[in-house]
Structure 1
Amino acid sequence: MQAEIEAFRDQAIDLSHRIHGMPELGFAEFNSSREVANELRAAGFTVTERAFGLDTAISAVAGAGSFKAIVVAEYDALPELGHACGHNLIAACAVAAAVGLKGVAEQLDLTVEVLGTPAEETGGGKILMLEQGAFIGADMAMMIHPAPFEDASPGFLASTGFSFEFSGKSSHAAASPWEAANAADASTIAQVAVGLLRQQLPNDTRVHGVVTNAGSAANVIPGRSAGVYGIRAQTLADLEDMVPRVEACFTGAALAAGCTVELEWELTYPNVVQSPRLASLYQQNAEALGRSFPQDPEARAFRASTDFGAVSQVVPSLHPHVKICDSPVSNHQSAFTEAAASERADHALIEGAIAMAWTVVDAALSRIDSADDRGR
């Protein structure tokens, strides 16, 4: 199996670089998803494009065994930054691991399915796919994410977000300012209120956002302002407690500025429930390839969110980090975009694919009990 993945090295790296060179936003990954589908089809997988009702979702299946392992691919990019989260590597790593697993599927009584999942950054593609029946019947699900450190079982926060729009009344800033209801002021008040709220938040709770529009001329008091905000917390229960507190910052700001406000909420991403047993297997396999897992304070402090959390609530799951660069370079930075197409990243891609494939094999051999293996 390792030999098959090593033989696929050049194709996997080329796939990673092709996706990296054509960054596409969530639900618009038409070229990237096609590239992944074509590679899997050429490798002998039965491929379904536009799977589960999404134009850029993929299902690719090999084997017909009783143990079903799902390997997850992502390929969406970030606005302006491109692949600053390294989803090109996630996709190529999933394909390479699956190619290796296909050769042992019959021997292991294994079904391996690659799911190409759109819109992880925003849009919750995996959540939408779950609603349409994806991941059902799986004994395990796994993906590998690039980062500036190795971590077999990183923590991921529950998250949600919303767009906001304050509506007031425009007026001439000099001739008749008293006629206005300043929507830009409402955005400012909301930002200040959130900033003050942060003093009372638990350590793992995050509130962050941007104003995307608050007027365009200095001599016009704006009657409209808009933006987007995100909220993250340790668990779904913690997140539910936070939502009304943050919402009050915006309704109160509207009242203070004489405006109205509309909030449009996004899908909620649950926290990731990592399988301790899968994490142990993966770390052993990665260490066998020469990768190390030091006690890294930065790794322990790193917090993000992913729609893979929804998968982990229903299927024994693992979402480890593989190191492709060194701090202070980190995800969602332009320097990470460069790192995601580096020789070091290419090396991590292949070793990550081998470690993931070995972990699937170990899980298939030990027949992990899905009822007891979610670490709850």
Structure 2
Amino acid sequence: MADPVIRRIRKEGQNLLPLLKEIVQQMHDNPEVSLKERNTSRFLSEILEKEGFSVDRGICGMPTAFDARSGKGRGPKVALLAEMDALPGLGHACGHNIVAASSVGAGIILARLLRQRNTGGSVHVVGCPAEEMGFGKARMVERGFFDGFDAAMMVHPSSRRVVDKGYLALRRMKITFHGKAAHASAYPEEGVNALDALVLFFTSIGLLRQQLKEGIRLHGIITKGGTAPNVIPEETEAYFYLRAKTVEDLETLTERVKNCARGAARSTGCRVKTRPVSYTLKPMLINETLASIYREGMRSMGLTEDDVPRDRNLGSSDIGNVSHACPSIQPLVPISREGKIEIHTHRFREATVTEGGFAGALEGAVLLAYTGFRVLTDREVRRQVKREWRSRNLS
């Protein structure tokens, strides 16, 4: 027999399905890139205001970020993270329209339940800009926004149903070589070739990959390679992503990449500058207590988790930083069962606005609401969640 709470939440979710579809379709049709999610932010926050949420806009110094809260100020509090930004040229090919719909839906369901039961605590739907830049939630963590939350949650669309898929730590880095320009034919001996340094650097990186630990990823592009064939390049630049399973491994990798750059510069007589871009993203600390509650809700709905490796096909996201600030989960919800579809593709974007996409948004809203309800109404659950989180952070 299904849990009576999940039955009630599912009923509320079904009532909200037209709204969830509207959110998914509206964001699909009107994508906005990182830090420019003005219409999306207004659209979502106005929906929540109509549901009685109090909305603070422009939080943490980001004009499109918002905190919409409902409930009593004192007591436990849960954050539901609504990502808003789209990919340049691809629209919502990462499915943030599903993310936002699920979190907004879960927030509305929870707010209604808390009011009906006159239960203490509060639910916050947090408008999160610039996930694709690894910026929005990392800025919120830096400003202390998530301090004191009992849980922060969201779902992400996929072609699989997985509760505990993690993320790698990520550092973005630009490497710039400085040489000396000269005519490449008339006076080549007067030049210092910054492109030679860059080519040597890429060669060193290629050789370094053979000695890297399992789980480390290192990939980059040339963003500046010179201006003309007859001019010895004075300045060249590469943009790299460095990823690892732990912050410690990321720091070690960073130093090795810098050494490759220093060696290339010294070999060619160039100068080199390395600098990080945006925030360093931390690996995801999945709270297994929250994950087990989410799974309870799945079982009550007759859903089964897909049997897929948890340590493969990993990316990075700024929810990793959130998971170090408060207990967090980010399960995957399926938006298509017609074979595997990859994120950041046209096919994935269009899958978000199919019946499968709408069903995924509804599944996410119901299960997030169920998990949030258990956190807000069960003191022992909160203790277990916090105990595990503290232990993981210490380790």
TM-score (structure 2 length as normaliser): 0.89
Does the aligned pair in 1 maintain the 2:281–2:316 contact within 8 Å?
yes
Tell me what 1:359 maps to: 371
Q: Which residue of 2 aligns with 1:307?
A: 318
Deviation of 1:95 (Å): 0.4
**Matched residue, 1:55:** 63
1:222 Cα deviation from its structure 2 partner: 2.1
Pair 1:236 & 2:250 matched: no
Change (3 A) 1:31 1:252: farther
Q: Counterpart of 1:221 in 2: which secondary structure?
A: coil
Deviations 1:297-354 (A, max 9, x none): 3x54121111111211121111111122355421223332222333311110011111
Task: Give the residue type in structure 1 aligned to 2:250.
Answer: L
Tell me the C-alpha RMSD between the 2 structures. Answer: 1.9
Whole-angstrom CA distance in 1 between matches of 2:44 and 2:221: 33
The residue that corresponds to 2:5 in the other structure is none
Q: Secondary structure of the residue that 2:122 maps to in structure 1?
A: strand
From the superposition, tell whether residues 55 and 206 of structure 1 become closer, same or farther in structure 2 (CA, over 3 Å).
Answer: same
Q: Between 183-192 and 109-118, report the one with greater CA deviation.
A: 183-192
Taking the TM superposition and a 5 Å limit, the aligned residue runs for 1:1-376 are 1-64=9-72, 66-106=75-115, 107=117, 108-266=119-277, 267-297=279-309, 299-325=310-336, 328-367=340-379, 368-369=382-383, 370-374=385-389, 376=392
> Is the 1:289–1:351 contact (alpha carbons within 8 Å) kept by the matching residues of 2?
no
CA change 1:86–1:167 in 2 (3 A) is same
Aligned counterparts of 1:333 and 1:185: Cα–Cα separation in 2: 35
Letter matched to residue 355 of structure 1: L
**What is the alpha-carbon distance in structure 2 between the residues aligned to residue 137 and residue 172 of structure 1?**
61
Secondary structure of 2:222 counterpart: strand
CA contact (8 A) 2:265 2:271 kept: yes
Q: Distance in 1 between matches of 2:303 and 2:386?
A: 31
Normalised to the residue count of structure 1, the TM-score between the two structures is 0.94
2:4 aligns with none
- Residues 337-346 or 98-107, more deviating: 337-346
Q: Structure 1 unaligned runs (5+)?
A: none
C-alpha spacing 1:285/1:128, structure 2 compared with 1 (3 Å): same
Q: CA deviation at 1:123?
A: 4.2
Closer/same/farther in 2, CA of residues 184 and 334 from structure 1, 3 Å limit: farther
1:3-57, Cα deviation, whole Å (9 max, x unpaired): 3322221222221222222332222222221221111112221111111221111
Q: Structure 1 segments of 4 or more deviating over 6 A?
A: none
CA–CA separation in structure 1 for the residues paired with 2:303 and 2:187: 67
Q: Distance in 2 between matches of 1:49 and 1:131?
A: 18
Would the alpha carbon gap of residues 191 and 338 (structure 1) be closer, same or farther in structure 2, given more than 3 Å must change?
farther
Q: What is the CA–CA distance in structure 2 between the aligned matches of 1:109 and 1:10, rounded to whole Å?
A: 29
Structure 2: give runs of 5+ residues left out of the alignment.
1-8
1:140-163 C-alpha deviation (Å, 9 max, x unpaired): 111111122111011211111112
Code of the residue aligned with 1:372 in structure 2: it is: R
Between the aligned partners of 1:327 and 1:177, the Cα distance in structure 2 is: 56
Deviates more, 1:330-339 or 1:352-361: 330-339
Once the two structures are superposed, what CA deviation does each residue of 1:266-322 show, in whole Å capped at 9, x if it has no partner? 31111111111111111221243343213113x541211111112111211111111
Amino acid in the other structure paired with 1:347: A
One-letter amino acid of the counterpart of residue 378, structure 2: S
* Cα distance in 1 for residues equivalent to 2:195 and 2:349: 33
Q: Secondary structure, in 3 states, of the residue corresponding to 1:301?
A: coil
Work out whether residues 5 and 99 of structure 1, in 8 Å CA contact, stay in contact via their aligned partners in 2: no
The 1-side partners of 2:38 and 2:171 are apart by: 26
Partner amino acid for 2:321? Answer: A
Q: Is the 8 A contact 1:159 1:305 kept in 2?
A: yes
How many residue pairs get aligned? The number is: 375
